[in-house]
Amino acid sequence: MSTIAPAAPVAAPRFTVRALVPGALLVLLLLAYASMLPMAPILADPNGISELTITRGPDRAEIPGESLDCAPEGARTVCTVDVLDRPLRVAITPPESGSVQCFAEYAGRSRGCSVSYNRYPIFPAGANLADDLGFSAAEFDQIAAEAMPWWRLDNGLPLALPVVLLMCPLAAALVVGLSSRRSIAHPRLWVAGVGVGWVALHVGILAVVNTTMFDLVQPVLVVAAVLMFWQWALTRPGWRTGWVRAITAFLVTTVACFVSMFVFLFAAMYID
């Protein structure tokens, strides 16, 4: 009588699509920060102007520093920008010169100008024009819209912020929810790689912007532990129900993106 040989065990694959999701998230965050770092306020010229604000009562128009054309003139930094097809000229003395003063000129007339500071001395000063320039409320809105670069939202935050916070969790939920449940080989390498990559990404950000806000490392470490546990779960078969896997992926990715974006925006002085 013939016997049936036992089937050879099926080797676990080296990776699956859903196991790649945490690593792909790190890559997308790295690309987003690489595109935003050159315009980060913390890296701006400390002798320049971080932003120009025009106010009148409740009306307010903010012109970010990258929309200003600045150049040194002796001991001063002079910035110009077209406001309603007329040049607005603002001159400010750098902090190294001692007393910091602000001078403004619009439509051939001198205007009242004051200096505002960020809490960090290496951060460039801001200029505020509270003089009545004769703008209507609609013109204030037009000035703010024309001065804001395309990569910033109306509130001045980077356009990449809602893209990361919305698209990454949705994409992760779809991939994890619809992919197979197969285990992969060498899960410990994947877990360690995600943990090291997450911490390295954010410590690198703090090093590049040369900040001493080491309190930001604490939430980074907490999320690193969550991501490592999630990466371990993605190397296992996991729940049979796809929508449960999708919801888990959405929640974990949302928390990771929110914490990561907060750390970056705070360290780079987009928010304070």
Tell me the per-residue pLDDT of 162-208, one tens digit each, with 9 for 90 and over: 889 999 999 999 999 998 878 888 889 999 999 999 999 999 998 88
Residue-wise pLDDT tens digits, 196-241: 999 999 999 988 887 677 788 899 999 999 999 999 999 988 767 8
Instruction: Report the alpha-carbon distance of residue 154 to residue 204 in Å, rounded.
Output: 29
From the list 35, 14, 32, the residue with the least C-alpha distance to 193 is 14
User: Average of pLDDT values for 23-31?
Assistant: 96
Question: What pTM did the predictor assign?
Answer: 0.81
Lowest mean pLDDT among 52-66, 92-106, 180-194: 92-106
The pLDDT value given to residue 8: 45
Q: In one letter, which amino acid is 214? A: F
Lowest mean pLDDT among 80-89, 91-100, 166-175, 248-257: 91-100
User: Average of pLDDT values for 134-138?
Assistant: 83
Please state the domain extents for the chain: 18-40+158-267, 45-147
Residue-wise pLDDT tens digits, 42-58: 887 777 788 888 887 78
The pLDDT value given to residue 66: 82
Burial class (CB within 10 angstroms; exposed 0-12, middle 13-18, buried 19+) of 261:
buried
DSSP, residue by residue, 62-130: EEEGGGSEEEEETTEEEEEEEETTEEEEEEE--GGGSS--EEEEETTEEE--EEE--SSTTSPEEEEE-
